[in-house]
Amino acid sequence: MIPGSIAPPVNLHTTRNENKVVLIWNNQEETEKNLLGYNVYRKKENDKAWVKLNEYPLLSDNNYFEDTSRISGLSVTYAVTALNMAGAESSFSRPVELSLSENIELLPPPSGLYLTKVPEGILISWTPVVQKELAGYNIYRYEPGNPPQKIAIPNANTTSIKDTNVKKDTLYFYYLTSINNQNQESKPGDINRIRY
């Protein structure tokens, strides 16, 4: 890189479109008469090194780029440089960080929720979610007219638990959600009810 010979691109911003990330920045053809093109760089979270995404320089009138590669992690940072015909490359543009947390696929909720009255309270059992990303479950309970309350957070290896904090002749509703390794919660599973 030969710094100082050409100004870096400005106003870099990113947008998501289906399974790709689109980068757009200001066209420098009017301000840099010897502009050859651009390079696009990406850095994943916790990485120190930048990776160039284009094999050949983008054309001077091509002030956009589509990143279609599959990216793991919670965030990624992009930057762009400009190239002139003398072979000089600018410093990086202002880096733009993009959150990928919403791209992480959520787990399905547990199925087969079954409630049984036992002497100690209510036995809650379910069919486990078989996914390597599974960290555990959230169990919710509510009574008619009241909002749901989280009553337990069993781990991924658990398929049943007893709710001992119950009252006689009371109607209870239960449902479960799954939690992945990023502590993201699935949609609620089926609701089941029982009167103790």
pLDDT of residue 2: 45
pLDDT of residue 82: 94
| CATH number, domain containing residue 130 | 2.60.40.10
Per DSSP (E only), the strands in 68-155 are: 75-84, 96-99, 111-118, 121-127, 134-142, 149-152
In a domain, 5, yes or no: no
pLDDT at 98 over 50: yes
Share of the chain above pLDDT 90, in %: 46
In a domain, 46, yes or no: yes
pLDDT of residue 32: 87
Measured distance CA(51)–CA(77) in Å, rounded: 10
Within this chain, do residues 98 and 116 fall inside the same structural domain, yes or no?
Answer: no
Q: In this predicted model, which residue has the larger pLDDT, 93 or 1?
A: 93
Within this chain, do residues 21 and 88 fall inside the same structural domain, yes or no?
Answer: yes
Tell me if the pTM is above 0.85. no
Helix (H, G, I), strand (E, B) or coil at 135: strand
pLDDT of residue 3: 45
Range(s) of the domain holding residue 165 = 111-195
CB-based contact 41:49 (threshold 8 Å)? no
CB-based contact 140:174 (threshold 8 Å)? yes
Tell me the three-class secondary structure of 39-89, residue by residue: EEEEEECCCCCCEECCCCCEECCCCEEEECCCCCCCEEEEEEEEEECCCCE
Lowest mean pLDDT among 13-17, 30-34, 59-63, 169-173: 13-17
Within this chain, do residues 61 and 80 fall inside the same structural domain, yes or no?
Answer: yes
The mean pLDDT of the chain is 86
Arithmetic mean of pLDDT, 17-36: 82
pLDDT of residue 19: 66
Name the domain count of the chain: 2
pLDDT of residue 72: 63
pLDDT at 87 over 90: no
In a domain, 41, yes or no: yes
Within this chain, do residues 97 and 134 fall inside the same structural domain, yes or no?
Answer: no
Tokens representing 62? 């091509």
Within this chain, do residues 52 and 133 fall inside the same structural domain, yes or no?
Answer: no
pLDDT of residue 190: 85
Within this chain, do residues 91 and 142 fall inside the same structural domain, yes or no?
Answer: no
pLDDT at 17 over 80: no
